[in-house]
Structure 1
Amino acid sequence: MPRSRTTLTLADAKQMLEAGEAKAVSFGIPYNIAVVDSGGALMAFSRQDGALIGSIDLAIGKAVTARLFDKTTAYLSELAQPGAPLFGIEQSNGGRVVIFGGGVPVRVDGEIVGAVGASAGTVEQDISVAEAAVAAITLSNA
């Protein structure tokens, strides 16, 4: 019997981007926000007017990293410090792993269905924007 996989829909991704954008506006910072599906492929991306060009790849990288390891990038950052169990993990996967806060897996009914990454502000702001995006879909499915 074929195995089915649950993933975000495009409508979910758009809803997440809208919530993340609203949070970014509350900070007064133009953001880059990326949403990936359960396989880690980019589904949707938003670059608000004036968002940092260098943050484009970071937002996408954070989303992909959160899905690759099914952990927040903030938590991976803790695990990747010198002497910690995952020190050097950012060199894996062709060096595309981003290990600072702003990447969050999306879980619906306990199953990971995708991830979001946000980049442009402080690490704390990036986490907040990503969490707002995740809350938009997880709260609506509660």
Structure 2
Amino acid sequence: QNISALALAAQVIPGQIIHITSTILNIFAVLTAFFGIYLGFHEALKGIVLNVLSRIMDVKNVNPLLLTSGICVFIVVTLVIWVSFRVSVLVFFQLGSPLYGIVACIIPFFLIYKVTQLEKLRGLKTWLILLYGILLCLSPLLKLIE
């Protein structure tokens, strides 16, 4: 039987304690997931900003508190705009799929065929990965055809 631990506990523990506990657990699960994604996105954005700034100035001159605060404000404003316009997460996946197709499929394909140490990976599987990358890059166009 596939029963969660909270359902089993609800059969044993009387009263509202289990309902309160499950609500608190759900809240912490959502917050943990949000902050995990937020921190990952924050670090990625910080890396991109520092990479771009390193091309035009010395990165040691960048105020880390100002950079962190600016990225935080950008993320919060972006999320507020996203929620205000009620944009579906599925639209985000469809618009972001070309980036995933390029980074996860097309670039590795070309690396396998350009780097001699990776020639043992060449074959039909590599061409299928390229095909998936092309399909991921075309998916926003397919959305327009719908």
Task: With the length of structure 2 as denominator, give the TM-score of the two structures.
Answer: 0.26
Could you say which structure has the greater relative contact order, defined with CA pairs below 8 angstroms and 6 or more residues apart? 1
Q: Of Structure 1 and Structure 2, which has the larger fraction of its residues in helix? A: 2
Indicate the structure with greater strand content. 1
Task: State the TM-score, normalizing by the size of structure 1.
Answer: 0.26
